[in-house]
Structure 1
Amino acid sequence: MPTAPTCHNGIACRALLLSSIASFLLTGCEAPLDLDTVREQSQNALKRTDFYQAMARNEGVIVLAGNTGALLHSEDNGETWTRTPLTTNDSFIAVDACPDGSFIALTFSNILWHGDASAINWTPYTLPSSEQMMTATCSPDGSWWAAGSFTTLQNSSDQGRTWAETSLNEDAILTNIQFLNNSQGVAAGEYGMLLATEDSGENWDYAGYLPDEFYPHAAWFTSRQKGWVGGLNGFIYHTTDGGESWTQQASETAAPIFGFVKGKAALYALGDNTTVLQLTQGEWVQLPTQNQPLYLRSGVALPDNHLLLAGGRGLLLNIETPEAASASTD
């Protein structure tokens, strides 16, 4: 997949985001999959027609989700996988593990699926808003959250039986949402917008703006004050004051950044062309992978300093991270 052009304008970024999601979900890259680090899986559960978008884990199970109803789970840290038969061909764009060990998974058709802790049994819930939802998460109190267009946030505190909806009435897409504790959460989106809540999502307000209306494809916060966002051209911005100001950190790539993974000793960023970056002393250092025109979008940390990463064309990488004596999340 070619490197994407610079994009700061919100409308252009919106068009690029939606077109890139459609490309990932429907067609993806046409390059052959030829990576030594790709593990052969049993029963052909992983398919080269899969384009993975999201991954999450509880204490015993990893869930992997992607296009045309692709939903898989592994009980052995990704050694083997089982494909979950669902009555849908909708494409999944987000998945998260909840405090009780269950899972939620969002499809592009605005349906939130709830899976039990085994990730075998799933129940669909249609979201009430007509706005397009782009991301979903479980909060520490177990509530389900989804966020998307027109700065719309929806949540359910009773596992999908009833829903509440709020909006800042801005014509902007929220692309990321994360709860940090029982009361604090952040949401990032179009036009470089950062929102925050201090009361468990009852109220959301503006927390700051990224430079040049930077469009965040990915965001990760370790506290209400400290966080990172990533997007096109390998740009990664860092804040230490809750989003009021941002600093661009040095990065050894120009590939678009699509996700962050918190490892045992460091923070990692994932992107196009099988890019994996490790945050080391305030700079993003590229880890060695075979450069291929395939994106990496999501992943989880495994025991013994390994990362399990997923992306286009059925790409699944299990990589060992460097000994992280010098790594930090500063």
Structure 2
Amino acid sequence: MSFTPKPRNGLTRAIAIPCPARSTLALFLLPVLLAGCEAELNLAGVGEATRHANLRTDHYQALASNSTASVLVGNDGVILISQDQGSTWQRRQLPGQPALIDVDACPDGSFIALSFDNQLWHSADQGLSWNARALPTQEQMLTATCAPDGAWWAAGGFTTLLESRDQGTNWDETSLDEDAMLTTLQFLDAEQAVVTGEFGLVFSSRDGGQSWQAGGNLPDEFYPHASHFVSLNEGWVGGLNGFIYHTVDGGQNWKRQATPSAAPIFNLSANRDGLFAIGDHSSVLRLSGERWQALPTPSAPVYLRAASSSDDHRLTVAGGRGLLLNLDTRPALAVQAQ
């Protein structure tokens, strides 16, 4: 199935979300609303907080990094900035204290962040200051990303996609014409992109998001909280009950991979040491063959949702109650809490 979605200009309706969609949206946003084969990692230093930056009242939602800075966002407009690969952090707070739910690094070195009130925030100085652009849609946006060509994208309700090529001054709005929420959006390169969504939807693009092709649906209308694709053919999605599915044929077939717990998966992130899944109960999993294995982390009844990897064996993860971990993903090296 292939089609080119048409712009829905002048959209003024507010879509009524049916009960099943409301329930899955609530599950996706729950952290926002609720403000043995691996070598063992050394937990020395866990529990030490960075003074004046990371607070126990913080609930982090997303993290993005470029070559010079990392930006962590969360509830109440909280933004943490690190310029030393997560060793120390500076704290900022946006006016109006919006609930920030996503952030991404752009090719020009700037950052964009999405807030739950459908504002897209932009920083051109490594996260130190921000300007807001209102998104011109009645649909709830859930995810935002910078494409390799510098365009800003957002996706969310009624399979709506927004694109701006002039840093938020003008937007093109399209829909994949499904009454469902889009939950993840990833550009593999300038031409190839993948979105996943409610009811197990998977769509891909080969022309920079100008048209989208429907792939095979996820099993049992699985609701993906997280996805990570290495090509249009191969990818992983994660969600409730600790389920992680893997495809090698563009979503036509999916295989559920074994995980060590039923803790929901909220993010997937990769570096040179492998692919990692981050979720509830402060869990971090590493893919080993076709199975996932738990890494030792501080035992805490809080979620991890934000994650960012680098090529220097580093994985930074963060979540509820100010939990912020800086992991060296090589065996037998340190996991440190900031």
What TM-score do you get using the length of structure 1 for normalisation?
0.89
Aligned pairs, how many? 308
The answer to whether structure 1 residue 27 and structure 2 residue 34 are counterparts is yes
User: 1-side partners of 2:220 and 2:158: how far apart?
Assistant: 20
1:119 Cα deviation after fit: 1.4
Task: Name which of 275, 278, 282 aligns with 1:274.
Answer: 282
CA 1:237/1:26 → structure 2, altered by over 3 Å: closer, same or farther? closer
**What is residue 133 of structure 1 aligned with on the other side?**
141
Q: Percent identity?
A: 50
Deviations 1:250-299 (A, max 9, x none): 11121100001112220000010011110111211111113221101121
**What is residue 50 of structure 1 aligned with on the other side?**
58
**What is residue 293 of structure 2 aligned with on the other side?**
285
User: Would the aligned equivalents of 1:274 and 1:296 in 2 still touch at CA under 8 Å?
Assistant: yes
1:320 Cα deviation after fit: 2.6
Task: Name which of 318, 321, 334 aligns with 1:313.
Answer: 321
Counterpart of 1:40 in structure 2: which amino acid?
Answer: A
Q: Secondary structure at the match of 2:149?
A: coil
Unaligned runs of 5+ in 1: 1-9, 29-34, 325-330
User: 2-side partners of 1:287 and 1:182: how far apart?
Assistant: 34
CA 1:249/1:12 → structure 2, altered by over 3 Å: closer, same or farther? farther
CA 1:115/1:17 → structure 2, altered by over 3 Å: closer, same or farther? farther
User: Would the aligned equivalents of 1:235 and 1:254 in 2 still touch at CA under 8 Å?
Assistant: yes
1:60 Cα deviation after fit: 0.7
1:1-330 maps to which residues of 2 (within 5 A)? Answer: 14-20=21-27, 23-28=30-35, 37-42=46-51, 44-302=52-310, 304-323=312-331
1:123 Cα deviation after fit: 1.1
**What is residue 40 of structure 2 aligned with on the other side?**
none
Q: Secondary structure at the match of 2:77?
A: coil
Moved more, 286-295 or 315-324: 315-324
User: Would the aligned equivalents of 1:225 and 1:243 in 2 still touch at CA under 8 Å?
Assistant: yes
1:19 Cα deviation after fit: 2.7
Moved more, 83-92 or 145-154: 83-92
User: 1-side partners of 2:285 and 2:327: how far apart?
Assistant: 12
User: Would the aligned equivalents of 2:273 and 2:329 in 1 still touch at CA under 8 Å?
Assistant: no
CA 1:38/1:156 → structure 2, altered by over 3 Å: closer, same or farther? farther
1:15 Cα deviation after fit: 3.2
CA 1:313/1:213 → structure 2, altered by over 3 Å: closer, same or farther? same
Q: Secondary structure at the match of 1:63?
A: strand
User: Would the aligned equivalents of 1:38 and 1:316 in 2 still touch at CA under 8 Å?
Assistant: no
User: 2-side partners of 1:255 and 1:85: how far apart?
Assistant: 30
Moved more, 15-24 or 290-299: 15-24
Deviations 1:117-158 (A, max 9, x none): 421121111000110000011111010000000000001011
User: 2-side partners of 1:12 and 1:196: how far apart?
Assistant: 28
CA 1:78/1:272 → structure 2, altered by over 3 Å: closer, same or farther? same
User: Would the aligned equivalents of 2:271 and 2:311 in 1 still touch at CA under 8 Å?
Assistant: no
User: Would the aligned equivalents of 1:13 and 1:215 in 2 still touch at CA under 8 Å?
Assistant: no
Cα RMSD after superposing both structures: 1.9
Deviations 1:92-127 (A, max 9, x none): 110000111111100000000111142112111100
User: Would the aligned equivalents of 1:39 and 1:317 in 2 still touch at CA under 8 Å?
Assistant: no
User: 2-side partners of 1:224 and 1:61: how far apart?
Assistant: 29
Q: Secondary structure at the match of 1:24?
A: helix
What TM-score do you get using the length of structure 2 for normalisation?
0.87
User: 2-side partners of 1:98 and 1:39: how far apart?
Assistant: 31
Counterpart of 2:299 in structure 1: which amino acid?
Answer: N
